[in-house]
Chains A and B, each alone.
Chain A
Amino acid sequence: MLRSDPTTRVSRWLPLVAFLAVVGAVPAVSPNAYALNVLGFIGINVLLATGLNLLMGYAGQVSLGHAGFWGLGAYISGVLTARFGWPPLPAAALAVSGTCLVAFGVGLPTLRLKGHYLAMATLGTGVILQVLFVQCASLTGGPSGLVDVPNFSVGPFEVRTPLQNYYLIWSCVAIGLVGALNLSMSRIGRALNAIKGSEVAAECAGVPTHEYKVAVFVLSAAYAAVAGTLYVHFINFVAPEPFGFMGSVLLLTMVVVGGIGTFWGPVIGGSLMTVLPEYLRAYEGLEVLLYGLILVLVMMFVPQGFASLFRWLPRRAIRGA
């Protein structure tokens, strides 16, 4: 018989709690503005990668257009606050719900596709979104982007300094990580894993596979939209460039290099793929070349991702009782 509820066992939660404690303490140790900014970007990327990992790692569905949802969240928040003077919180709410609605509309038909076909459909969705960001210039500012996006604020509290942004971003990341961990231990999380293992068997066992695939697709889009809102208020600017195919590839890289389907993979991958470009920023062509080489080498020699190397961390997102 079972000894205790495995989902509340300390060993499950300790690593995450410890990690978040460290995250909370970092500014006390290193309050340098540049470092805080980089850590802020890491947070946004971790949130993006965690959301994508839910779709790709837990449910086994491919998306090559995920950056489009990130951009959609950013642009809705940016346009509403910069052009229409909305307060940031309602704008954020609309950004997330609007992106979820679009994701639902896209996901419903396209998630009936498999493998390469699904990848292509999501790729197309991302490209179409990016084209819209560029073409609807009167709203979005076109290719040169939207400027003067205000800081995030709730009532009189404005998030202005790097330190404040850091805490705002990482609070959202914390919620996202906790949600992901909970999901992995839940009935729905198991069902998603079953869909990844054998969709036919899962369906015949009673799992509503299509509904669940759409649900996790929308959930991952929600993560992306929140990341987009945080992003646009962080840098007070948004342009279409990061949200195209290459942007989606970068997100895919974060998930795969970190370790697809693992819990810590997105954290590792998101951190790595934020920090690396920072170091290589000065060497344009070289940066691109190295980025490509890293992708190739990791896929060749560490195909399960870096999280699989750390055996003392919860390695798989789904573990036994």
Chain B
Amino acid sequence: MGRVIAIASGKGGTGKTTVTANLGIALAKLGQKVLLIDADVAMANLSLILGMQSSPITLHDVLLGEAQVHDAVYDGPEGVRFIPSGLSLDNYKRVDSERLTSVVSQLTDQYDFILLDVAAGIEKNVLSALSSSQETIMVTMPTSPAIADALKTKIVAQRLGSKVIGVIINFVMNEKGEITKNDIANMLELPIYGSVPYDPEVRKSFMQEKVAPVIVRKPDCPAAQEITKIASRITGLKTSDAPSAKKVGFLEKFFSFFKIKGAK
């Protein structure tokens, strides 16, 4: 039986879809069999982040009972597999998201990890995704509105029987006013899996002829490296057991911090 983990945040814009895509690929690189499911049936965009927007059969079709779940599974980057949600608003209004639990249960024995990309908010499709998972990881930002929404989502997940196992802090810029990792751990009463730094390379990954997650396009950038460490922590591997990224020298780090072009 694989682990079914919901990646949730409550607040929109915390980067949970980006984290889900990159974390899934990082887990696959560690040798895990990974399935990503775009459980955001209303605002699906995991397929865009993976660069796999043309998928004829989607989760919508499966939830509508018009397709078998195995027909909606696609091969993604680095061996990861993927079930997209459809972009159609008509189908979104017709789908019964409560069927997600039975869809997920058909797949758990085939994967080591099933990651569900959960929508923002605490509406019905969010509840469906949370109750389909055994575990939940919160993605938040080091700001009070994001943490407030993460708190509410944690309470909802627990009510639905999903164990909230940890937090990923995203968009960390190390400004004085940011809420620190320790404060977030205390406020949410959860362990911190990692702090993903704000990294322009993540944004640039959407601005390519062929879109690919940053962990594929720039595996040595700070955000990709931190996500690789988070994947190791989730699997229980020591960070040193994970495939090491290229060593980055002091000058390279220094120049990349100040974004000075031609520093290499």
Chain B binds chain A: no
Q: List the interface of chain B (C-beta within 8 A of A).
A: none
Q: List the interface of chain A (C-beta within 8 A of B).
A: none
